[in-house]
Amino acid sequence: MPSRSGQVFENRNPADREDLIGYFQESSVADAEAAIAAARRAYLQWRLVPAPKRAEILFKAAALIVERKEQFAHDMTREMGKVLEETRGDVQEAIDMTFFMAGEGRRQYGQTVPSELRDKFAMSLRQPLGVCSMITPWNFPMAIPSWKIMPALVCGNTVVFKPATLTPLSAFNFIKVLEDAGLPKGVVNLVTGGPDVGTLMSTHDEVKVVSFTGSTQVGRLVSQNAAPWFKKCHLEMGGKNIIMIMDDARLDLAVEGCLWGGFGTTGQRCTAASRIAVHEKVYDRFVEQFTRRAGALRVGNGLDRETQMGPVVSESQLNTVMKYVEIGKQEGATLLTGGHRLESGSCAKGFFHEPTVFGDVDPGMRIAQEEIFGPVVSVMRCRSLEEAIDIGNGVAYGLSASIYTADINNAFTAMRDVYTGIFYVNAPTIGAEVHLPFGGTKATGNGHREAGTAALDVFSEWKSIYVDFSGKLQRAQIDT
C-alpha cells in the first residue's frame, strides 16, 4: 500500500545521474507500525503451515527468480552500479539460497535421545519466534535479503523487510517474486525509509528477531536498541580482510585473486580484500604485476560488456573514498596507481573512482585499519608467515582472510591461527557458498551466522519435550 506520508524519493543510476530509475515511497514510522501489525496477524496462521508446505512456496519463488534473472540483474546494475556479470551472480545467489532453504522444509531435524528414566520419551524440535525485522544494505540487494528472509520463512516466522534506500527496485523485485509464488498476505512486508523506521523495527515489542547487515557503527545502535527487550539480535557488519602471499605462491594466481578481491563490486563488499601482505622475497614482483593490472582495469557503466569495474554507489561514498586516498598520502604510503575521481568521457555523469593501490603501507596506518568500502587496496611487506598472520589479526574486524602458498603446512597453520569467520586457501577473500555458514568475528559480527543450516538457529528456538508414559511421578536426577 502507499506510504501514509505520501513522501517519495528518487532512485537514480550511480553510473549516469541523468538516468532516473523511478520514484519509490518513503515509508514512515506509521507505515512500519502497520507492517509489524500485519506480520503479527499473519504469523498466527503461517506458523501452523507445515514446514514442507512453506518450502513449496520457496521452491516456486526460486523458479520464478530463475525465469526473471536477466531482468533482475539489469535492474540491479542500473540502481547500484556493479557490472552485469556480478549482478547476475547476486541474483544467482538468491536463487541458490532459496532452493537451499526450501530443502530445509523437510530437514529441520531435532534430536531423539534415550531418557535416563524408564517409560519416558525425550526429543527436541525447532519452533519459530514470530515477527522478524530484516535491515539490509545496497551492495548485495537480492543475495543478502535471501540469506535472511528465506530461513526465517521456512522456520515459520513472518518478516518486515527494510532494504537500503539506494536499492529499492531490487527489493521490490524480490518481494514480488514471493507474492507471485503464493506467499500469503502479510507474511513478508516491505517498508522503506530512514533511521526512524529502523529504530522502530529494532525496538517494537512485537519484533522477536532483528537481523542487520551494514556498518559496525549502525550495527552497534541496532544492538543497543534490541538489548533492553532481550530480542534475538543478529549482526553482520564491517570487514578489513587480508590476502597473505607467501614466497612460494603462484604470483599469477595471486594477482588475479587480489584484483577480484580488491576491485570486485568496486571494493564495496564486506569481504573485499582491501589489505595484502606480501613476503619480502616476492614483494617487488607482485607489486609490479598487481599495480599494472589494476591500472588497466576498464572502469565504466556496468551495463557495458567491456566494463570490469563500475561506479561507487553514491556521491557520499565517493567522497569517503577520496578522503581515505588523501589520508593514505598524508600517512606516508606510496600511491602506486589510481587515486583520482574519473570525470571524463563515459564516466562524466557518475560516481567513478580509479582502482587505487598503495604500497609501502604500515599495518598501523588508517588505510590499513579502517574499512573504506571502495576501490582502495593497501599492500604491506612481511618477512614470515607468522608476521603475515599477526598483520591479518591486527585489525578490529574478523570476517574473511586468504593465503596463497604451495606449502600445505603454511596453509593449515594459517587456517588455524587467523581469527576470522571465513578463510580461503589459494583463492581471494570473496566467493562464499550458500551451504556453509557466513559471518565473522570481533567487530564484524556478534556470533550468529547466515547461510547453511546455521541460519536456522537465528530464526528458530529449540524446545525440549519429555513424554512420561510410566503412569507415576518420576523425578529426573533424583529417581534412579
Summarised one tens digit per residue, pLDDT across range 203-233 is 999 999 999 999 999 999 999 999 999 999 9
Q: What is the pLDDT of residue 178?
A: 98
| DSSP label of 139 | S
pLDDT (tens digit, 9 = 90+) per residue, 270-329? 999 999 999 999 999 999 999 999 999 999 999 999 999 999 999 999 999 999 999 999
Q: What is the pLDDT of residue 253?
A: 98
- The domain limits of the chain are 8-237+445-465, 242-425
Fold of 242-425: Aldehyde Dehydrogenase; Chain A, domain 2 (3.40.309)
pLDDT (tens digit, 9 = 90+) per residue, 453-465? 999 999 999 999 9
Q: Residues 18-41: what's their mean pLDDT?
A: 95
pLDDT (tens digit, 9 = 90+) per residue, 373-417? 999 999 999 999 999 999 999 999 999 999 999 999 999 999 999
Find the distance separating the first CA and the last CA of the chain, reported in whole Å.
62
Rounded CA separation 126/184 (Å): 22
Q: What is the pLDDT of residue 479?
A: 76
**Rounded mean pLDDT of the chain?**
96
Rounded to two decimals, what is the model's pTM? 0.95
318-to-12, 76, 268, 365 alpha-carbon distances in Å: 15, 19, 11, 20
Q: What is the pLDDT of residue 270?
A: 95
CATH class, range 8-237+445-465: alpha beta
Separation of CA 196 from chain center: 22
Residue 1 has pLDDT above 70, yes or no: no
Phi first, then psi, for residue 250 (nearest 5°) are -75, 105
Q: Which amino acid is at 148?
A: K
Rounded CA separation 313/374 (Å): 9
Q: Which residues contact 368 (CB under 8 A, 6 or more apart)?
A: 240, 275, 361, 362, 378, 380, 395
Contact (CB, 8 A) for 396 and 220: no
Question: If DSSP codes are grouped into helix, strand and coil, which group holds residue 29?
Answer: helix
Contact (CB, 8 A) for 333 and 367: yes
Rounded CA separation 201/423 (Å): 33
Contact (CB, 8 A) for 301 and 313: no
Q: Catalytic residue numbers? A: 236, 270
Q: C-alpha grid cell for residue 45?
A: 496462521
Rounded CA separation 248/403 (Å): 11
Phi first, then psi, for residue 402 (nearest 5°) are -150, 150
Q: Which residues contact 181 (CB under 8 A, 6 or more apart)?
A: 57, 58, 60, 61, 64
Q: In the Cβ-directed half-sphere of 46, how many Cα atoms lie within 13 Å?
A: 28
Rounded CA separation 75/85 (Å): 13
Residue 153 has pLDDT above 70, yes or no: yes
pLDDT (tens digit, 9 = 90+) per residue, 227-255? 999 999 999 999 999 999 999 999 999 99
Q: C-alpha grid cell for residue 58?
A: 520457496
Q: C-alpha grid cell for residue 261?
A: 578481491
Phi first, then psi, for residue 206 (nearest 5°) are -85, -15
pLDDT (tens digit, 9 = 90+) per residue, 311-326? 999 999 999 999 999 9
Q: What is the pLDDT of residue 335?
A: 98
264-to-8, 34, 237, 268, 336 alpha-carbon distances in Å: 32, 39, 18, 8, 19
Separation of CA 294 from chain center: 25
